[in-house]
Structure formats: structure tokens, C-alpha cells
A and B are shown apart, each in its own frame.
Chain A
Amino acid sequence: MDKKIRVLVAKPGLDGHDRGAKVIARALRDDGMEVIYTGLRQTPEQIVTAAIQEDVDVVALSILSGAHNHLFPRVTELLVEKGAGDILVIGGGVIPEADYDFLKSKGVAAVFGPGTPTKSTIDFIRNNIKRK
């Protein structure tokens, strides 16, 4: 048996800065994970549908526009609603630390700010995914 970690990397909202999302996608791939990359302008509904169909272990959201407090909780709520609350949700981008607690209270497992080494994200995923 060869269980691969599958990660959905998505950019919710409208900002087009996908450098971080693409770098993390590559880093996860180079760590042996399977990354489903869905690109820009994803609605929470699209993200959750993709997460379920792709049966991912992790949803990694990147956002730089400041709409995180609105969009991240929508993703976690919808996942729970669809019976997929076991999927780990993490976030990154330009997100003030003051918002971390709020996002965590909404089910976002971790928030990685600018400058986070990709290794930290990888380690977090490996240590925190819920095995199916």
C-alpha cells in the first residue's frame, strides 16, 4: 500500500498573486505529495467540491487581498456541511497575526504568514493530516 498525501492548493477570492501558491505547490510535489492546483478566483463552493471529488487530505488556501476572514470560514463551514470536516485546512498569504485566532476558531488549522519556509508547511501537513 502506498498512501500518497493529496493537497488541494487554491486561491479563493479575486487576487491574482499566485507566486506563493505556486511555490508551495512545487515544494509539496518535490516532497512527494500530489497537488491539485486549481488556480485563481476560486469560490468556496468550487474549492469544497474539488476537495471532496479529489479526496484530498489537505486544502491549502492562499490569499493576499485581505478577504481571508470572509472566505476561509466559508470553506471550512462548507466542508463540514458536506461531511468533509476531517480535511485539514491551512492558509497562507498576507494575513495579520491578529486574525490567526479568529481563523483558527473557524477551523483553519494553521496560518502561514509571509516568509514561512516551505519546510514548515510540509512538516505541519505531515504531522497533522487525519489518516483516512
Chain B
Amino acid sequence: MRSGNPAGSGDRPRADRGLAERVADGEIRAVARLISHLEDGDPAAEEAMRALRGRHGKAHLIGITGPPGSGKSTLTDKLIGVFRSRGARVGVLAVDPSSPFTGGAILGDRLRMQGHATDEGVFIRSLASRGRLGGLSRATQAAARVLDAAGYDYVVIETVGVGQSEVDIVKIADTVALVSVPGLGDDIQVIKAGIMEIGDVFVVNKSDREGSDRVVREIRGMLETAASLKRSALPPPVDSLRGRGSVTGPGYQASAPSAAAPGADAPASATEVAPAPGAITMSPEELAHHLTESAYNVNLAADPELPPVLKTVAETGEGVEALADAIIAHRRGLEASGKLVERRLEGIRAEMRGLIAFRLLDALEGGAGRSREDALARAVLAGGEDVYGAAEELFAALSKGGMP
């Protein structure tokens, strides 16, 4: 557990201290307020975020995405439980779409996380996408940083994977878990949408339902196809076949860890050797190996190039320990290979670009910008202007900061 702050649960806002300072102390109301400022585009947010610089980067940012009805919130609820049982503090950002017509939203994810409703080591915040560029709330990335700065060890960002948001999430999270579920009609619609690339861990939730093995097989097949396309020029890794082809084998029947397949190398369940509270005791290699051999996830990390595919039943918590382990193993792997820095740099670049884009749009949508835009649009319609010229003119005005 990160040494946060003994005053972490302090609730009384102290007006004499700055917002950033209170956030750094883990003061709940301050954390919540700063996230609101970020959402609202309040100038106070920028000031506080600047003051908080250097305080983040420690938390493990986890993205969980998948289609509606795949049980993401329940899965998140159970993940919180696992992380809490290991002594870590957990922040959750649950993002749901805003109504495109009214800008309002009903945010109901919290409902499924009631198990931790009053746990002071858990902070849950519902965000409406308020999106103009589609996808994630513009504040999500910054909000994750706030939770990081406030001392939460894990920050779970839950988004509905139906459009742009699951692509955005890869820019925010260190580890992205892509959740699928049998029986949603087109079983692996998430994957088919061409976003398979973003998954670091694949989850087939509600795996007690009929058809879960088929979903696992399909995901595996796609991952393997993609991987073989990628490395067609490269010699295959020596042990790339280990653990494969066993998708339908006894190991996969192991909805309960006790159902370890006879003859499996190491039938110990993932839970038995779960890291002690607050610390990961195994090296990444050990953990990866252990996961490989665990009855629940025979195929996991069999090929270190391939993301693991795990089965869970979020309702009962089955497989969630193993999922937590796989998520942690992924981040450890990133750290060990140096890819974490790469990934985070990319995230920061994306965030900067986002800020620029938002700023441009803000300027455009501000009073003068809007009327200029409108005038140009009318000119295009009338034929006196072409859309390229119009955009050029708007952009030039914007980049000079000529419009409020």
C-alpha cells in the first residue's frame, strides 16, 4: 500500500488550504470537487492540477471496457474487493454516455458497486462523457491523475465499449481489460469492431453461461491470427504452442478452481498464491509462469506475446482473483520491459492533443467563434466559399487566438 496519508479520510474542508494540497492529503471532498472543476472546465482545475504536478505516476491505471450488459460494473466491484483485500486503496471512474439531445445523463454504475459504498479506502465517481469528440469524458484522464495524486493505488476506469471510448481508454490506462460475454447476440462484437488491438487482458465474463468456451476460442483465434500476421517474418517463439490448443481441454472447464484438470502441471489455484496484501511478492516472470499453470487460466501467458484470455463470473467473484493477478502481471511486464514509460508518454501526448483540440473547439463555440463559423458555413452553402477555404480561415483565426 502506498503511504498515503493518515488524514485520508479527513472530510472537513479547510478553507485555509488550497485545493491541491487538500487533494494531496486525500481529502475526499477536495478530490471530488477537483474532478467536478475538471469536468466543468473551471479555471480552478488548471491551477490545482499544476500544483499537483509530480505527485502522480504511482497508481496503476486500469481500463475496463466492453459492451453494455457485459457486467463491467459488477466485475469492477469484485476487483475492488480483491485489491482491498490486499490492502490497496482503489479509485474508480465509471464513465457513461451523456444524452446527445439534452446533455443530461443517468449514471447508474455505482449501483453495482454498493459492496464498497462506505469503505473509506474506495472512491467511486461517475462521469458523464459530455463528449464532443466522442468517447471518454474530457476530464477522465485528468480525473485519473487526481485519484493517483490523492493516493489511490489502483484507479479503475470503466467505460462502455460501443464507440470511440474504448479506443481512448488505451491512452489513459496502463492496462486495458476488454470484457466480453456469451449470448449478447454477436458474441464478440467488441473485438470485431477492430479494437482488439487495445486489449491487454481479455475477459469472458458470465462464463457460467452457455457458449463461453466458444467466445474464448474465438478471441484466442483472432489474437493468434493477428499475432501471426504481425510476426510472419519472425521465427516463432520456442514455447509459443505451450498451453494452446487446450482451450476446450479440461482446464477450461475449471469454472471453479477446485476443478483442476487431472494431469495439469500445477493445479494450485491462483488465489492460493495471491500476493500478500499491499505487495506483489512474486517477480513478474514467476507470476506469469504461475498464471500460465493455474487451472483457471491454462492459456494465460503461454505465449508472452499474446494477451491472456480469462473467464470470470463476476456475480460470484469466480476468476476475479486471477484477473487481478493478470492485470498486475501486465503492468509488471510493462515496467520490466520499459514499455510503461513509452505508453505513458503516448498518453501524455494524446492528452496534450486533446487539450489543444478542446481549446480550439471551446474557442470555436464561444460567442464570436460561433458566429464566424456560422457565417462561413452560410457562405459555403451559398457557393461563395468552399469548405476548405472556410476551415482554413477559421483555423487561422483560432491559432492567432483572434477569437474569444
Contacts and interface: CB of A to CB of B under 8 A. Distances in A.
**A–B interface present (Cβ within 8 A):** yes
Interface string B23-50: 0000011001101100111110000000
Contacts of A60: none
A33 interface: yes
9 tightest A-B CB contacts, nearest first: A29-B104, A55-B32, A46-B117, A83-B12, A55-B36, A82-B11, A39-B111, A32-B104, A37-B108
A26 B106 contact: yes
Contacts of B32: 52-55
A129 to B, nearest CB: 13
Interface string B87-103: 00000000000110011
Interface in A84-107: 84
7 contacts: A34-B98, A34-B107, A43-B117, A45-B118, A46-B114, A53-B28, A84-B29
A84 to B, nearest CB: 7
B118 A28 contact: no
Interface residues of B, number: 34
B146 to A, nearest CB: 12
Given A46-B114, A52-B29, A35 B35 contact: no
A106 to B, nearest CB: 20
Contacts of A63: none
A32 B33 CA distance: 20
Contact of A53 (B102, B105, B114, B124): B124
A55 B39 CA distance: 11
B123 interface: yes
B110 interface: yes
- Interface of A (DSSP majority class): mixed
Interface stretch (A1-9, A64-72, A113-121): A1-9
Given A52-B32, A54-B110, 20 more contacts: A1-B41, A2-B130, A4-B40, A4-B130, A28-B104, A32-B103, A32-B104, A33-B104, A34-B105, A35-B104, A35-B106, A35-B107, A36-B126, A37-B111, A54-B125, A55-B32, A55-B33, A55-B125, A82-B12, A83-B11
